[in-house]
A and B are shown apart, each in its own frame.
Chain A
Amino acid sequence: MHRYFLGVDLGSTTSKAIIVDEEGKITGRGITNTRANYSVAAEIAKMEAIYNARFYILKKNLETDLSWKSEYHQFIRDIENVFQYLQFKIRLDELNKLLLSNAGSYFQIKVRSSLLQHLMQILPSLETKIKNEFLQNQLGLQNQFFRDVVTGIYNELVAEKDKTLFEPLMNVFDKSITPVENEILQVDFKIMVNQAMDILQKKYKSLPDNISGDTSMRFDAELNLLKGNYEKVSDTLRDHINRVADYELHISNMTGTGYGRALLPFPEDCIRSEILCHAYGAHAIFPETRTVLDIGGQDTKAIQVDKHGLVTSFQMNDRCAAGCGRYLGYIADEMGVPVNELGPMALQATKEVQICSTCTVFAGAELRELTNLGEKREDILGGLHKAIIMRAMSLIARSGGVFNEFTFTGGVARNKAVIKYLTALVKENYGDTIKINIHTDSIFMGALGGALFARRASELAHKMVPVE
């Protein structure tokens, strides 16, 4: 039996899970938004990583076929999307029930019936929109977390309604979303994947004869292939999927890390500091790394590692979390744009307006003032992103500087504008020869380090068993 290892990184904004196999290779990834109930966040991230690992194993089993049957790629990608939608659907049904129940007991008795009427109109649209977004791959830059997706669409639908009911509609939503989000779903992988395939069969059947649109050439080609071929592909896949669904994915050890690690339902010896995990994860992917910068939701960490991936020293922001992920979140709220759009907007900057990065709240005030003075949003955002890195540079210097290869990890490493300024400032301060690594899994580095710690602990324990 193959053994797998789990790492869970409970961050202040997102909870991540990674599963690695015996060779330390990433096989599954799961991510969700951190919520008041840490155990639920950890469990959801873990379950997602397990589902993701099953899809990974499926793709691995089909490696030969996938190399020459490109329609399989599209089908599996679609299954993963619909599988996620079906999980959303369970939660959405719960949310619908709770919304109606909370509306029925709303404290202002006179608005109850009109509130219910509005909800009866909103809820079917909410469901249809979410289904379409998943089935047509329209989620785009949005975070695919239940709360974010549902809140975004609900708000849009509420905005179209009678303004007098705005507050009651938002109140019942706020009251309903949290308990629904905090429920752990019991999902049967096999049943749900088969359901997803059934839904997709219908989708492919109803495709027009020739697909072309604003999607990529490869995507169109794959869909065209599927249009005439989906039944055959589906039959072949179903066998494989059933086998993968029955496969016992044995997690033989796990490690919890991150800001909320002490609250994870893990044994004490399975808890590791996020400093060590980020460094170990970064070192596993880029072994020549000697300096790691991690910008997470509330922490910025500058870490020095040795050739073994062992941390030799670190510095963290103290007393203030300005310049971290939540700073960007706050700015996004102030500007009324999704946080994921900040980076692309900042990349359009023609200059960087100087912004103070010592306080998140003051930066918000500065932002409004600069807007009043006529500065362009892009230029303000350019300045903000630069300010974040200027702050991080001070921590890097405190930790001893940049050596050899430099790896940037954490959720903020997905922001292209942050990368732009970081690259410029690291090279300016530590030389052009410094290699800067940013992995597509940068947000998962802590969880990866955790999973690798779990793997190493297991290996060491096995070595300690006396040979009979």
Chain B
Amino acid sequence: MSNKKPEVQKEKSMLLQKEMIAGLFKDLSTAKEKGKKVVYTFVPGNITELILSFDMLPVYPEINALQSGMRKKSWEYIKEAEKIGYSEDVCTYVKCDIGMMLKGNIGPTDEKIPDPDLLLLSYTGCFTFMKWFENLERLYPGVPVAMLHTPYQEDGKITPGMVDYMVKQLKEDVIPKMEKVSGKKYDEARLSYMLEKSALSEDLLVKVLESAKLKPSPIDAYFAGVYYIGPIFTAFRGTTQAVDYYSELYKEIQERISLKQGPITPEGELKEEKYRLVVEGPPNWTNFREFWKIFYDMGAVIVASSYTKVGGVYDMGFRHDPKNPLESLSRYCMGCYTNMNIPQRVELLCHYIKEYSADGFLINSIKSCNSFSAGQLLMMREIEQRMGVSVGFIESDLVDPRYFSYANIKNRLESYFQMLEQRKLILQ
């Protein structure tokens, strides 16, 4: 066997995304000299269009953390955070992010990420986020903080009262703070125009994700899915760039469909789709490629995942509405996957198993991530009973390499794939 690393195949959409990200970090690195204001905020329930409508630049600490994980830098940063007292049990995104800031806040393109001008706590479904921003507030004393409290869907629905409550916060606290920081007036027409673009990107993303209903699936909706959601979950939703990216991506996928091709992996096209899985939970970032390889080596394709809904469950019909901009942003925040209650999540995952003809359901549980991990075993049992599919459970971490045990994960996944294989063999 050759020791040469397989060359990673890159499609036009991937290159496009790379350019977009490089452009953003370039803009961020020159933000201070160009007088641009910078807002730190979160992915779930992000109100990117509103930030962009004030000509401010968003920074997403979780994205920085996961990119540090992929770039093998996270341990260095986590170590820094632990040195100043963050315990082993704290969410590793937080520690990685804090550590990165302590080490000079150098981003994935090796350019410095500027200090925030506004800390926008845009999502409160994860309590760690609140603590995270409390810590950022201490790291950046004097920086204004805007908090948008997102009511959890405890009863499994978004009521008009919940929407009003959020719109009120936007009008009375968030927008005034943004106006003050940016020095610009709130421009609803501009926001609506952006939301129109958002809806266009959302339509295209849904088409991309739903292509996995085909057999063979032309995409991997988890490992490749995390790249597909990149622009829309972060700084580009509401931009023409995002619409262009999703148009290109969808075009490529349509081509794959017409050629009946399987998903693209880092080692080329997956030739034989053996197992179709629905996956719950975020992936591991420190060993992302190795983790993915275990799946594609076994012919496993992830046809749907909850993680790719963390920044919006668009395939269930939600679209940003240019006619009701603030109301729409509020509904978006409350509709994100981790803001759904456990029965809603179970319902969604069962829907995926059925609609995407999945053979199995797998959970990658992250011990330090409360918003995902709470209730996962319960969900697994319920899904197993309702859908009669084989279920699997593995554990790893987001960005702490100490908690990724390749041998253990491979052993469990091998067992799981053999379970699926035997089930197919015997029951057929």
> Which residues of A pack against B, CB within 8 Å?
259, 272-276, 308, 310-316, 318-319, 398, 400, 460
Contacts and interface: CB of A to CB of B under 8 A. Distances in A.
Nearest to B384: A313
Contact of B415 (A273, A308, A319): A273
A313 B391 contact: yes
A314 B415 contact: yes
Interface in B336-378: 377
B408 interface: yes
A409 to B, nearest CB: 15
Given A273-B411, A315-B393, A310 B422 contact: yes
Given A313-B380, A313-B392, A273 B418 contact: yes
Contact of B412 (A259, A316, A398, A460): A316
Nearest to A315: B393
Contacts of B380: 313
A400 B393 contact: no
B272 interface: no
A400 B380 CA distance: 9
B8 interface: no
A311 B416 CA distance: 9
A313 B423 contact: no
Contacts of B411: 259, 273, 316
A273 B423 contact: no
Contact of A313 (B393, B403, B425): B393
A398 B377 CA distance: 7
B405 interface: yes
B62 interface: no
Interface residues of B, number: 23
A275 B390 CA distance: 14
B408 A276 contact: no
A312 B389 CA distance: 8
A312 B390 CA distance: 5
A393 B401 CA distance: 29
The B interface is mostly helix, strand or loop, or mixed, namely helix
A366 B427 CA distance: 50
B405 A319 contact: yes
A310 B419 contact: yes
Nearest to A398: B377
A308 B408 CA distance: 27
B426 interface: yes
B419 A276 contact: yes
A445 to B, nearest CB: 15
A311 B405 contact: no
B244 interface: no
A273 B425 contact: no
B419 A275 contact: yes
Contacts of B88: none
Given A310-B419, A313-B392, A316-B408, 11 more contacts: A273-B414, A273-B418, A313-B384, A313-B391, A314-B392, A315-B393, A318-B395, A318-B408, A319-B408, A398-B377, A398-B393
B391 A312 contact: yes
B381 interface: yes
27 contacts: A259-B411, A273-B414, A273-B415, A275-B415, A275-B418, A275-B419, A276-B422, A308-B427, A310-B419, A310-B423, A310-B426, A311-B390, A311-B419, A311-B422, A312-B419, A313-B380, A313-B384, A313-B390, A314-B392, A314-B419, A318-B395, A318-B408, A319-B395, A398-B377, A398-B393, A400-B384, A460-B425
B365 to A, nearest CB: 9
Contacts of A274: 415
B218 to A, nearest CB: 28
Given A313-B380, A315-B393, A272 B418 contact: yes
B418 A400 contact: no
Contacts of A318: 395, 405, 408
B293 to A, nearest CB: 15
Interface string B126-140: 000000000000000
Contacts of A308: 426-427
A447 to B, nearest CB: 16
Nearest to A259: B411
Contacts of A275: 415, 418-419
Contacts of B426: 308, 310
Contacts of A311: 390, 415, 419, 422
Contacts of B403: 319
Given A273-B411, A308-B426, A400 B419 contact: no
A106 B211 CA distance: 71
Q: Which 7 A-B pairs have the closest CB atoms?
A: A273-B415, A275-B415, A311-B419, A313-B391, A273-B418, A318-B395, A276-B418
A179 to B, nearest CB: 27
Nearest to A400: B381
Residue picked from A311, A315, A319, most chain B C-beta under 10 Å:
A311
Contacts of A315: 393
A398 B376 CA distance: 10
Contacts of A276: 415, 418-419, 422
Nearest to A301: B415
Nearest to B365: A318
Residue picked from B391, B393, B403, B419, most chain A C-beta under 10 Å:
B419
Contacts of B425: 460
A319 B365 CA distance: 13
A315 B377 CA distance: 11
A259 B411 CA distance: 8
Contacts of B384: 312-313, 400
A55 B391 CA distance: 43
B323 to A, nearest CB: 47
B136 to A, nearest CB: 30
A115 B328 CA distance: 88
Contacts of A313: 380, 384, 390-393
A258 to B, nearest CB: 10
Interface in B378-418: 380-381, 384, 390-393, 395, 403, 405, 408, 411-412, 414-415, 418
Contacts of B412: 316
A277 to B, nearest CB: 10
B423 to A, nearest CB: 5
Contacts of A272: 418
Contacts of B393: 313, 315, 398
A303 to B, nearest CB: 9
A316 B416 CA distance: 12
Nearest to B389: A312
A210 B228 CA distance: 87
Contacts of A259: 411
A371 B426 CA distance: 54
A311 B417 CA distance: 11
Nearest to B412: A316
Contacts of A316: 408, 411-412
Contacts of B377: 398
A246 B397 CA distance: 57
Interface in B235-286: none
Nearest to A304: B384
A464 B235 CA distance: 56
Residue picked from B392, B393, B395, B422, most chain A C-beta under 10 Å:
B422
Contacts of A310: 419, 422-423, 426-427
A315 B393 CA distance: 7
B240 to A, nearest CB: 46
A300 B403 CA distance: 19
Nearest to B421: A276
Residue picked from A274, A310, A313, most chain B C-beta under 10 Å:
A313
A397 B91 CA distance: 26
A121 B153 CA distance: 81
A209 to B, nearest CB: 60
A311 B426 CA distance: 12
Nearest to A317: B408
Nearest to B403: A319
B296 to A, nearest CB: 16
Residue picked from A272, A276, A314, A318, most chain B C-beta under 10 Å:
A318
Contacts of A460: 425
A179 B392 CA distance: 41
